[in-house]
Amino acid sequence: MADEEESEGPVVELGEETPVEGQPLARVAARLTWPHEMSRIVEQEGDSVIRTPSGPQTLEDVLEAVDETYVDSRQTFVSLVRDVVGDGPVETE
């Protein structure tokens, strides 16, 4: 028989909880339906603050830099936003 400690798996220390401002882009994208017009996205979620590598930003501010007026899928939306904000570690306080 296997030892009870082995069946539980390794213990991982998580460290101190570090607050991160904003919400993940995936959470905002999940609240929308697709396809969608960019203006409707701004109306519905423009005030949402998302996490970016350079710190929290409102979705409306990010979308001002996007030239598209129509988004056909969630993947396209996420790609357009990441093209503006980048993809990397998120700043913490």
Domain ranges of the chain: 20-85
Q: Do residues 85 and 62 lie in contact, with contact meaning Cβ atoms separated by under 8 Å?
A: yes
Mean pLDDT in consecutive groups of 10 residues from the start of the chain, 93 residues: 57 68 91 92 94 91 93 95 88 66
- Rounded to 5°, the CA angle 81-68-36 comes to 80
pLDDT of 16: 72
* pTM as predicted: 0.75
- pLDDT at position 20 is 76
Q: Residue 37 has what DSSP assignment?
A: E
pLDDT score at 92: 67
- 46-50-55 Cα angle (round to 5): 125
Instruction: Give me the pLDDT at residue 71, please.
Output: 94
